[in-house]
Amino acid sequence: MGKELLELQLMNPRGETEPPPVLAPNLRIKDIAGKKIGLYSNSKPGMDNFYTAIDQLLKKRYPTMTTSVLKGSFEIRDEEAKAFASQIDAFIYAVGD
Amino acid sequence: MAGTVKLEKLGKPGVFIACDTFADAAKSAAEDNAMPAVRIRIISAAEFYRVRGSVSEVMPLAERVLDDLIDALTIPLTANETGTQKKDEGAENAVVTITGESFSTALEEFNKVFLDNLWGDGLPLVPPTPERVKWMLSGTSRSPYEIVGKVPPKQGMATIEKIAINAVMAGAKPEYLPVIIAAMEALTDKDYDSRHILLSAGSFSLMIVVSGPIANEIGMRSGIGFLGHGWRANNTIGRAVRLATLNIGHIWPALNDMALTGRISPHTFFTFAENADLNAWEPYHVTQGYETEDSCVTVATIGVGRTFYGGSIGTWTAQGILDRIVQNVLGVGRMMFGSWGTKGVGDIPGSGGGVTRHLIILFPAITAELKKLGINDRLSLQDEIYKKAVVRYEDLSPAEVQSIQTALGPGYELAIPPEHKHIFQNSLKSGGMVPVQISPRDINIFVAGNAPGDATGFDYLRLPPYKPTGILTKKISGATLTKNGRK
């Protein structure tokens, strides 16, 4: 006969959450050529240098593409997002972290 | 990540770049922002931080990542990426069963399972049995089902019961529970930037100060060593708040808490009480609009600390300590002028920069000595520091003047509130003396310690990145086991 096990009933300390809805990303663009690519970053040091490099490389490979570079808050503000989205076909977003 | 999802919601395909050290945090944030399949591309943190200083240095990294970024924008989404089915994690069990051959082995197993689940703080925990949680709840008249607020980043619901479970695990006593609940009310208030203190790469910490008669009643330490170990009330109240934030918010280091060096005093925060017996001034909470007989908790985000001296090591004078405080406020403030007019880290113009909030802890004896200088209370000391921490207009650089002028402009009403604008409009001219603080009330002063004592201080942003404040005072209510904190 085995030894009887001691049992501890314990309450779960984790906060209950409401799972957010799941949205799918947008369909991708077919090609970079001829498109306007948005480059958004916050003001963390060095992101401007990285984006300058990306900007130069993209334009070298796709001479007909253009970029729109915007520096703003960590999370782009609503009004800026609307204006930015209206100017671009696709975007790269980085915050330097 | 929220910004990336915001632009995706506006119909534009995008890609988010994260350093490898933040990869898990980025994925977690993508889920929190309802777009788990948002495309993320990873670069090496070690390399990026080293080469980001110039375009030529960062170019090789950009060359290597370019194809990846182009692919992220042009390669069609997979079936998995276009799916919109909610991740089925299954509901977590309300009760967890642990077994062992003895209490000792069951206790060890409990600690292992909880830590494996990321439900702890690394120190041994007290088992939150239903009986023990019921005992803890006997300290409050509030319903276990009442929701106090939500804790980021997962917006976990902080019910009274969940707070009580974490208080048990911390080793707290039921009479401490109303204090812990009030601290959680402050942290989850709509105006408190809990996201920054709990998740930021800047390794900030939290000060939890109890003022009013409940502090003595529950045995909080406010004498020598008040920030130290050995005081069950101070230490377990702080630990309960720490565990409640970790477990209710689903927070874990390097997963979504990106504090690079960890948070100082990570298990108990900086939890203490004002010294009601020796403090010649009215309690701190009275300056926040509460009655003297109320008991309150003040929660404040803090950065690094410093001492202004006092103590038994050398002679001290109130004037000498006051001078050191002024020099510190002035030195820190002068460094910050250039960021008053920044665009802002978050939604609020100027947020995440600008003026510093000071949190100064004076020892009781100094309050009596300050009287000899004509400083009879907290407000007059705040005014004195504010008046002295000024910079001559002629000593400001054009960039500093421009920064302050930007903060005086439209949209910056939280950076410089309208009632304070005239001070800066009048001082930004020849012969003017420009305060480094917006208001004397941004110099928060507490009285704790004993004789001999040491004046010490911390500081933080007056306007944090994501919400309007990093300091809030809440009244303790619902206590059932103490005379104070009941209403």
- A-B contacts at Cβ under 8 angstroms: 269
Distance from CA of B22 to the nearest CA of A (A): 7
Our CA-based measurement puts residue A61 at a distance from the nearest CA of chain B, in whole angstroms, of 10
Are B244 and B151 within 8 A, CB to CB?
yes
Residue A96: list chain B partners with CB under 8 A: 52
Chain position carrying tokens 């960890």: B262
pLDDT in tens, A32-72: 999 999 999 987 888 999 999 999 999 999 999 999 999 98
Of B16, B48, B128, nearest to A10 by CB-CB distance is B128
CB–CB contact B37 A46 (8 Å): no
Domain ranges of chain A: 36-93
Does A8 contact B465 at a Cβ distance shorter than 8 Å?
no
Q: A22–B19: do the CB atoms touch at under 8 Å?
A: no
Q: What is the ipTM of this complex?
A: 0.94
Residues from chain A contacting residue B252 (CB–CB below 8 Å) = none
Does A26 contact B155 at a Cβ distance shorter than 8 Å? Answer: no
Name the residue among A8, A49, A89 with its Cβ closest to that of B110.
A8
Min Cα distance B264 → chain A (Å) is: 21
In this model, does residue A1 exceed pLDDT 60?
no
B8 chain-A contacts, CB cut-off 8 A = 23, 25-26
Q: Are A23 and B8 an interchain contact pair (Cβ–Cβ within 8 Å)?
A: yes
Which of A12, A49, A94 is the closest to B92 by Cβ? A12
Residue by residue, pLDDT tens for chain B (487 residues) are 999 999 999 999 999 999 999 999 999 999 999 999 999 999 999 999 999 999 999 999 999 999 999 999 999 999 999 987 776 665 678 899 999 999 999 999 999 999 999 999 999 999 999 999 999 999 999 999 999 999 999 999 999 999 999 999 999 999 999 999 999 999 999 999 999 999 998 889 999 999 999 999 999 999 999 999 999 999 999 999 999 999 999 999 999 999 989 999 999 999 999 999 999 899 999 999 999 999 999 999 999 888 888 888 788 999 999 999 999 999 999 999 999 998 888 888 899 888 999 999 999 999 989 999 999 999 999 999 999 999 999 999 999 999 999 999 999 999 999 999 999 999 999 999 999 999 999 999 999 999 888 899 999 999 999 999 999 999 999 999 999 999 9
pLDDT at B88: 61
B152 touches chain A (CB under 8 A): no
Q: Is A39 exposed, middle or buried, given 0-12, 13-18 or 19+ CB atoms closer than 10 A?
A: buried
- Closest CA–CA distance from residue A96 to any residue of chain B (Å): 7
Closest residue on chain A to B170 (Cα): A13
Residue B55 contacts A where some CB pair is shorter than 8 Å: yes
Percent of chain A with pLDDT over 70: 98
* Residue B353, pLDDT score: 86
The mean pLDDT of A21-30, rounded to a whole number, is: 95
* Stated pTM of the model: 0.94
- Chain A hits for B415, Cβ within 8 Å: none
pLDDT of residue A74: 87
pLDDT reported for residue B345: 87
pLDDT at A44: 80
Q: What is the pLDDT of residue B90?
A: 58
Dihedral angle, C-alpha B384, B276, B449, B166, nearest 10 °: -110
Q: Nearest chain A Cα to B34, which residue?
A: A22
pLDDT given at position B324 = 95
